[in-house]
Chain A
Amino acid sequence: MTRRGIELIQGTLEFLVLETLGDGEPRHGFAILRFIGEATGGALTIEEGALYPALHRMERRGWLASEWGLSESNRKAKYYSLTAAGEAQLAKEKAGWAEYVQAVDRVMAAAGARAG
């Protein structure tokens, strides 16, 4: 597999993780990666190992809670889920992201209008 697609920056990664877990289903690290990969159709990639420090950091910040369980392949795996604080953070970032996108859109529209 070659590495291609857009390299994600750290803040966005955390946002994506929050978003992934937003449906309430606990997932382990590999599942989270797979979800992101499938949802973006492989467009966004990260170095797989980079996910894990992010997960631990988010857990320390209180956005995620973890629990050990048995995975589909009957191995021990660590499952993550959103905490109440995590959900609040998700809502906050979603709003922020929407604003950001809106602002960039407006600039593009203004530039476009100027161009032609």
Chain B
Amino acid sequence: MSRPRGVRRFFRLRPRRDWVEDSVDLEIQHHIDSKIDELVARGVPTDEARRVAEDAFGDLSRYRAACIAEQKREVRMTWWREVFGGVVGNVRWAVRGLSRSPGYVVAIVLTLGLGIGANTAIFTVVDALMLRPVSFERPEELQQIMPSYDDYLLSFFDPETAQLWAREASFLSPMSMYAREAGLRTDGAEPQTLTVVGLSPGSTDILGVAPVLGRSFNRDDAIPGAGGVALVSQSFWISEWGSETDPIGRELTLDGRSYEVVGVMPRKFHYPTFGRTDVWVPLADDMTMLGRSARQIQIVFRADPEGVDALTERMKALVAGWKERDPKVVWTPELSALNQPRVNPDVRRNVWVTFGAVAILLLVALVNGINLTIARGTTRVREIGIRLALGGGRGRIARQLLTESLVLALFSGIVAVGLALLGVDALSALAPRELTYLGTGTIDVDGRVIAFAGVLTVTVGFLFGLLPALRTVKVARATSGTSLSVYGATTGGRHRLRAALVVAQVAMSLVLLFGAALLGRSFATLVASDPGFEPDGLARLEFTMAPSIYPTGEARTAMVTRVMDRLRGLPGVRSVALSGGLPPNAGISFGNAIYVAGRAEPVVEGDVFLPMTTGGPNLRATLGTALIAGRDFLPSDDPAARIALVSEPFARVLAERPELAVGKRFRIDDGVEWEVTGVIEDLKLMGLDERFGDFGMISLMGDPSRMRSWASIAVRYEGDPALVFGEMRSAMREIDALQPIRALGTLDDALWESVDKPRFFLTLMAVFAGVALSLAGIGLYGVLSFAVNQRRREMGIRLALGANVRDVRTFVMRRGLRMAVGGAVIGVGVALWMARLLEAMLFETSSWDLPTLVAVMTVMLGIASLASWVPARRATRVDPVEVLKSD
């Protein structure tokens, strides 16, 4: 209705759509008009009456605004009250209804809880490795300086260059420098080799992490010669000395020197992020730590992300100046932000694939949930039909059903978090070490993970509730809940829908099963492959000699010789050999090209990897590696000679036939030139999967003065390993009681450990596939069983009319198998298509492996038959008389 002119003019308003304001305006208008009427009746002229009335009203805009505010608040509160009341009402209704079907509740909560829980558990890994931001203050500002060579990027500098940076790059100040060294700790119960990180003073401030106890390093600690202080991690303090004791002031003896603990770093701080760091010492201004010069120093500083480009230019200019002074500087500086995840792309891909697999598992579980809910909905069609007929709103009923699903989802979510906690424990225990250490911290269930579980729970609740809710209401509306129609409705479209869902389930579990089978086949192939040596009866003894005790190469050689002589004398020991590293993690060299003497063109170009190790004359024999051509090393060989044994695949590259490789000389880039004295069989020095290529090389162990600080001794033995190892340990202790043994074990075990990553992912995949398959089987069983139930009348009639029991059974089984075959066909198609994703994880197995496919389909059809057989049998047990009497 049009507003009186006076009001509009007074308010200077444009017409508003808001009904609250309209209503207030109307009310006020009525007052003014009434007042005007009163005044006019008393004889006041109209214009003056209006003026007086408006005047008497008072501050119109203020009162109007106050009314509008009150009104709006009232409207809001009423709305909230209604919504809340609605929700509470729905929840109460839902709980009442659910308590009447405990079986259904348990089934749903377990199924969905399992699905959500598994996803949450895997998410903790994904989050820890790839999503969670690094736990420093404003990590996007932290930059690391990386020297970039032509084809590769390193992350560290030598001490002289590090000092150059410290002295001449003041525009980057303050800088944090750190280096990692192995330190021998002798003040504990047993001698221990620890990873010790040297930190320059102020580093913790730059990172934005404060010690939880005590202090961090200051400038005085970095004076060369001082710095007898240390920081420890919280977990180190608690596990070593107990949380009851005060760690400040305790002494650590590292490499023969005494360090006083002055601070404790927070629980999740294991900086730098690689490996496990528990002890930090100061990195002195002259780049020394633990009494010796640090070798690889990394540099980090804090900078505004906007200014990174400008800084890089300044850095490049500075380094160009260094290059002029010293031509050996062949690198340029690059910056890498610290908040990038430093995860191996291999690992990353594997984790994502696993995440995808577990998501498929959730879908399978979800479909089960939907099917169960639809089935349950059938039993309530009558109730709902009546409610609809009596005028209940469709929307309201659908909302109630949805609330029911959400309540169930909530319980499932709680179960899921519980399962996830258990699962994460299991994951941490079983996972290969690399996985748990590569991330920015530990894998555990924290706020982010719970938030993920929450979001997933709500989504699942909606998904599994929505479809059945809409469906039930639609059916109830169409049939008005009469019994005959119930019968018709369920055997028709409803069954088709559930059958379609089961087909989808079967397809999805087939995909998982195929994936697991492929991984399984690949793993089996990997484990069965020939390592190139004889692992049975072969052990390794590895130890690192502390520079403080064995400072020179000769000292180290003497120690090692003593050890080896002792070992040779032990009963059960057949032969002993020294090496620079034993398979499956022997060592590797890399470069851009391999040249053979006499040929100008390189024989191999591009990113070249050459797994290699060093060894004496009896290494090859101790390993049990066959000699194919040429000769092994001899004791008479000059230790300084640059001679090598090469593996067959490498020999084929150096010459057309392995025999012809003997005598050839080769080098990597501009490196040392080696002469081939012999060709050995394909020795897998860097793991069974040969991920670094299939070359191999053993070079003659050089001159004793260049003996490095770690020794790897191969020992061929006979008899019980426990006894032999015990004796080897005693022998070491007798020679040097303080010398810790880094590794003592069989090479069999070492090989098994080297395949821990494929084994881990295979286990996960197999578990998911198994669970999905069971769920699909249960789903199939459920649908068939329900259908049999619904068609009892029909079965009864058939049997009464003389149908063969076997025919009835076949009838049911055919339906079941039809669903299974349908699912299998679709599943195979999808599986083959998705198998490409797995290809990089497979070892010598094609992703279209036919036998695997056949095996998987057979398993699937077997399970489907089993799941169909039980309802089939039940169908034959239907008593025709009883069925005809009922209804």
Contact = CB atoms under 8 A, between A and B. Distances in A.
Interface in A1-57: 1, 28-30, 33, 47-50, 52-53, 56-57
B237 to A, nearest CB: 60
A75 interface: yes
B31 A56 contact: no
Contacts of B77: 60
B3 to A, nearest CB: 11
A30 B30 contact: yes
Interface in A50-90: 50, 52-53, 56-57, 59-60, 71, 73, 75-78
B63 interface: yes
B27 A78 contact: yes
B27 A49 contact: no
A27 B285 CA distance: 90
Given A1-B56, A47-B58, A57 B70 contact: yes
B27 A48 contact: no
Interface centre among A28, A52, A59, A71 (most CB of B within 10 A): A52
B67 A52 contact: yes
Contact of A48 (B35, B64, B74): B35
Interface string B61-79: 0111011001101100100
B34 to A, nearest CB: 4
A60 B37 contact: no
Contact of B63 (A28, A50, A77): A50
A33 B31 CA distance: 10
Contacts of A1: 52, 56
Interface in B1-26: 1, 23-24, 26
B34 A73 contact: yes
Contact of B34 (A30, A49, A76, A78): A30
B59 interface: yes
B31 A53 contact: no
B58 A49 contact: yes
Contacts of B62: 49
A109 to B, nearest CB: 39
Given A47-B58, A48-B57, A71-B34, A56 B71 contact: yes
B58 A60 contact: no
A60 B27 contact: no
B56 to A, nearest CB: 5
Interface residues of B, number: 28
B28 interface: yes
Contacts of B1: 76
Contacts of B30: 28-30, 71, 75-78
B27 A53 contact: no
A47 B31 CA distance: 13
B669 interface: no
B68 to A, nearest CB: 9
A48 B58 contact: yes
A77 B30 CA distance: 6
Contacts of A50: 58, 63
Contacts of A29: 27, 30-31
B73 A52 contact: no
Given A30-B34, A30-B35, A73-B37, A52 B27 contact: yes
A60 B78 CA distance: 9
B58 A53 contact: no
B79 to A, nearest CB: 13
A106 to B, nearest CB: 37
A78 B62 CA distance: 20
A53 to B, nearest CB: 4
Nearest to B55: A1
Contacts of B70: 53, 56-57, 59-60
B33 interface: yes
Nearest to A52: B67
Nearest to A78: B27
Contacts of B34: 30, 71, 73, 75
B60 interface: yes
Contacts of B35: 30, 48
Interface in B663-710: none
A53 B72 CA distance: 12
B195 to A, nearest CB: 68
B291 to A, nearest CB: 79
Contacts of A59: 70, 74
Contacts of A30: 30-31, 34-35
B796 to A, nearest CB: 62
A73 B40 CA distance: 14
Contacts of B27: 28-29, 52, 77-78
A100 B59 CA distance: 32
Contacts of B26: 76, 78
A30 B52 CA distance: 15
Nearest to A45: B56
B52 A49 contact: no
Given A49-B63, A57-B70, A78-B27, A73 B58 contact: no
B252 to A, nearest CB: 70
A55 B67 CA distance: 8
A49 B27 CA distance: 11
B67 A60 contact: no
A83 B66 CA distance: 22
A99 to B, nearest CB: 30
Contacts of A56: 66-67, 70-71, 74
Contacts of B52: 1
A28 B57 CA distance: 15
Contacts of A73: 33-34, 37
A49 B62 CA distance: 9
A53 B31 CA distance: 13
A49 B33 contact: no
A76 B1 CA distance: 10
A12 B71 CA distance: 22
A52 B117 CA distance: 58
B334 to A, nearest CB: 66
Contacts of B59: 47, 49
Contacts of A75: 30, 33-34
A110 B58 CA distance: 41
A34 to B, nearest CB: 8
A6 B30 CA distance: 26
B189 to A, nearest CB: 74
A75 B59 CA distance: 23
Contacts of A52: 24, 27-28, 31, 63, 66-67
Interface centre among A30, A49, A57, A60 (most CB of B within 10 A): A49
Interface centre among B27, B33, B62 (most CB of A within 10 A): B27
A114 B625 CA distance: 125
Contacts of B74: 56, 59-60
Given A73-B33, A78-B23, A78-B27, A48 B56 contact: yes
B63 A60 contact: no
Contacts of A76: 1, 26, 30
Contacts of B57: 47-49
B67 A53 contact: yes
Contacts of A57: 70
Contacts of B66: 52-53, 56
A35 to B, nearest CB: 13
B73 A53 contact: no
Contacts of B64: 49
A9 B242 CA distance: 69
A59 B70 CA distance: 9
Nearest to B75: A60
A16 to B, nearest CB: 17
12 contacts: A29-B31, A30-B31, A30-B34, A47-B56, A48-B31, A50-B58, A52-B63, A53-B66, A60-B77, A76-B1, A76-B26, A78-B30
Given A56-B70, A76-B30, 10 more contacts: A1-B56, A48-B57, A48-B58, A52-B28, A56-B74, A59-B70, A73-B37, A75-B33, A75-B34, A76-B1
Closest 9 CB pairs of A and B: A47-B58, A49-B63, A53-B66, A56-B70, A49-B58, A30-B34, A60-B74, A49-B57, A77-B30
